[in-house]
Amino acid sequence: MATDYDAPRKNEDESESIEALKERVPDKGSAVIDEDPDNPSGFELQGADLSDLDLDVVVLPPQADEFTCVSCFLVKHRSQLDHETKLGPICMECAA
Ligand SMILES: [Zn+2]
């Protein structure tokens, strides 16, 4: 009786676990693609790369209180600005 009860029980367990796995695998995959806040995939990496490039480009131009001298091409503070030309600002060192 014990064996009889055990046999179908095992079978059900196996088929159940396999079905559960089958259902879980695609579910996990779609979950990762749909919402990947914890698991950044290729999409996330590409976005990070692009934003990194964007940040670099944004950081390069002078800040509001800075300027790029058109003579020495150095970024200087506004206090170093001597005068503006048609081409752009000239720093005190280059104007001297
Ligand atoms: Zn200069």
Distance CA 65, CA 76 (A): 9
Tokens in use for 78? 């506004």
Is the pTM value of this prediction over 0.75?
no
Ligand 1 centroid – CA 77 distance (Å): 11
Ligand 1 centroid – CA 72 distance (Å): 4
Ligand 1 centroid – CA 84 distance (Å): 11
pLDDT in tens, the chain (96 residues): 556 766 666 656 666 677 767 766 665 555 555 555 665 555 555 555 555 555 554 555 557 899 999 999 999 999 999 999 999 999 999 998
Ligand 1 centroid – CA 10 distance (Å): 83
> C-alpha angle with apex 83: 70 to 61, nearest 5 degrees?
40
| CA atoms 60, 64, 66, 69: torsion sign | positive
